[in-house]
Amino acid sequence: MSPLAAAPAADPTLQDFGKDPWWLIGGKVLVIFVFLVLTVLISMWVERRVIGRMQLRVGPNRHGPFGLLQGLADGVKLALKEDIVPRQVDKVVFVLAPILSAVPAFISFIIIPFGPNVSVFGHQTALQGTDLPVAVLLVLAMSSIGVYGIVLAGWSSMSPYSLLGGLRSSAQVISYEIAMGLSFVAVFLFAGSMSTSDIVAAQHDTWFAVLLFPSFVVYVITMMGESNRIPFDLPEGEGELVGGFHTEYSSLKFAMFFLAEYINLATLSALATTLFLGGWRAPAPISTVWAGANSGWWPVLWFMVKLWLFIFFFIWLRGSLPRVRYDQLMKLGWKILMPFSLGWILLVAAIRAFKNEGYDMQQITIVTVVVAAAILGGTILWEMLRGGEGEEGAAAEAGAAPADPFAGGFPVPPLDAPHYHGRTAGTGARAATIGTRSEEVTRGTH
C-alpha cells in the first residue's frame, strides 16, 4: 500500500484534531508553508501574464520557461538589494512592522480544510492543519493583527505619505471587517458552528453561495476591501501617497509586505471557498455522477480549482476596474454593506425560526425574497434621491458664494467649473488670465 493511501469518505470533526503525532503535525505545517510560498510565486506570474494579455502586452517571458521563474527572480533581487533605513525613523517599530504583517498571514491558513480524512503512512488524519470551535474568528483576528503592521509601518516611517497610508488602511479594515463578520453570521446560523470542518460538512447538499447568496455577495466585496487591492487599494494610492505605508521600505522588509499581500489574497480566496462554495467538495454534476469524488485525495483537486478561480477573479478586477475615491470607499462600507448585512441577518434568523416551528419553507422563501428586494430597492432609491438633493444644495451654496480659485496665488480651477470667463487675478507683480475657449494663460508684469 502507498504511504499516502486513500481512506473511505469521512468528514473530519472537531474530535479528530489534536490526536496526530508530532511528525505529522510538523509535516502539515511545512506543507502549508511551502504551499503558500509557491502560491505567491505562481499568483505573481499569473497576474502579470493575465493582465498583460488583457492590456495587449507580453508579460514575463524571460526567466524560466514561459517566465515562470520571474517571481523567484524578483524575490532574490529584493532580498539582495541594499536595506535603507531613514535616519529619523523609530527603528524598532520600523523593523517589527513587516513581521507583524507577514506572520499573521501564514497563521490564518492553518484552519483551512483541503480535504477529508485520509491515510498518511498508516495514520488516519484530516487534510487540514487544525480546527477550532471558533476557527473562522481566528482568520478575522489574524487579519486585524496584520493591520497593526501596516499602521505601525506608516507611523514609524516619519513620513506624511506613509502615515496617511497607515491611517487609511486602519479605517478601511475597520469598516470592511465589520461587514465581513456580518456576512459570516448567516453561515454560522445555517451551519450551527464556527468550525471550518463543520461548515464544509453542512454544505454536502447545497452550497451556501446558493442558499445565502446576499451574504456571498457582501463577502466578495469586503474581501476586496480587506486585500487592499484595486479597486480598493487606497492605502497604496501611488497617485496620492507615492507608495502608501511602505514608501520608506526597501529590500527584504518591502518583500515581506509584498508577501503578506499575496498570502492574504490566497487566504481570502480559500475562506470564500470553504464558507460558500462547499470547500473541498466536488460540484453537483461530478458528485452526483461519481460516488468517489469526495473521498481520498480527489477533493484536493476540487479545492484548488475553486481557490484559483477566486484568485483569477481578483486579478481580473485589478485589470478591469479603476480605483475608487476614499469617500466612496467609506460610504460603501458604512452606509450600504453594514445596514444591508444587518437586515439580511434578521431575515435569515426569522427563516430559521419559522423552519424550526414547522412552517412551509417555500412560502417563507418567496415572502423573504420579495421583502428583501423591496428593502434593497427602497434603499437604493432613497440614496439616489438623497444624493441628488445633496448635490443641488452644494451647487446652490457654491453659486451663492463662489470660491476664489486664485486664493493664495496658485491658479487652481475648481472641479465643477473648469472654464472661467475672462477672470484675472494678480499677486504682487504677476497676473494670470484664463480664457474661455483657447484656455491660454497670459502672464504680464505691471
Give the span between the Cα atoms of 432 and 99, in whole angstroms. Answer: 52
Q: Which of 186, 346, 350 is nearest to 276 (CA)?
A: 186
**To 10 degrees, the CA torsion angle through 269, 274, 277, 281?**
120
- Per-residue pLDDT of the chain (446 residues), as tens digits, is 344 444 344 677 777 787 888 888 899 999 999 999 899 989 989 998 998 888 888 888 888 888 888 888 888 888 888 878 888 888 888 888 888 888 888 888 899 998 888 888 888 888 888 888 888 999 888 888 888 888 888 888 887 888 888 888 788 877 888 888 899 999 998 888 899 989 998 888 888 988 888 899 999 988 887 777 777 777 666 666 666 777 888 888 888 888 888 898 899 999 999 999 988 888 878 877 887 788 888 889 999 999 999 999 988 988 888 877 778 888 888 888 888 888 888 888 888 887 777 777 677 777 777 877 787 777 778 777 776 555 555 555 555 555 565 555 555 555 555 454 444 444 443 444 434 333 443 344 44
| Contact in structure between 251 and 81 (CB atoms under 8 Å) | yes
**To 10 degrees, the CA torsion angle through 215, 262, 64, 46?**
30
Burial label, 423 (beta-carbon count in 10 A; 0-12, 13-18, 19+): middle
Q: Which of 256, 186, 261, 175 is nearest to 216 (CA)?
A: 186
Give the span between the Cα atoms of 281 and 273, in whole angstroms. Answer: 10
Residues 6+ apart with CB under 8 A from 305: none
Q: Which residue has the cell 412551509?
A: 360
Q: State the pLDDT at residue 275.
A: 93
Give the span between the Cα atoms of 378 and 358, in whole angstroms. Answer: 31
Biggest distance spanned by C-alpha atoms of the chain: 97
Q: State the pLDDT at residue 309.
A: 93
Give the span between the Cα atoms of 346 and 365, in whole angstroms. Answer: 14
Strand partners, 125: 118
Give the span between the Cα atoms of 385 and 68, in whole angstroms. Answer: 51
C-alpha cell at 317: 478586477
Give the span between the Cα atoms of 340 and 77, in whole angstroms. Answer: 46
Cα 426 to the center of its chain, rounded Å:
49
User: Between 338-356 and 213-226, two packed helices, what is the crossing angle to 10 degrees?
Assistant: 150
Q: State the pLDDT at residue 308.
A: 93
Residue 179 to residues 185, 219, 220, 337, 350, Cα–Cα distance (Å): 10, 8, 11, 6, 20
Residue 336 is given by DSSP the state I
| Rg of the chain in Å (alpha carbons) | 27
Sign of CA dihedral 81, 87, 89, 92: positive
| Contact in structure between 8 and 295 (CB atoms under 8 Å) | yes
Q: Output the pTM of the full model.
A: 0.78
Residue 236 is given by DSSP the state G
Give the span between the Cα atoms of 382 and 234, in whole angstroms. Answer: 27
C-alpha cell at 374: 423591496
C-alpha cell at 300: 484536493
Q: State the pLDDT at residue 276.
A: 93
Q: State the pLDDT at residue 305.
A: 93
Q: How many residues are present in the chain?
A: 446
Q: Which residue has the cell 487544525?
A: 130
Sign of CA dihedral 415, 420, 425, 431: positive
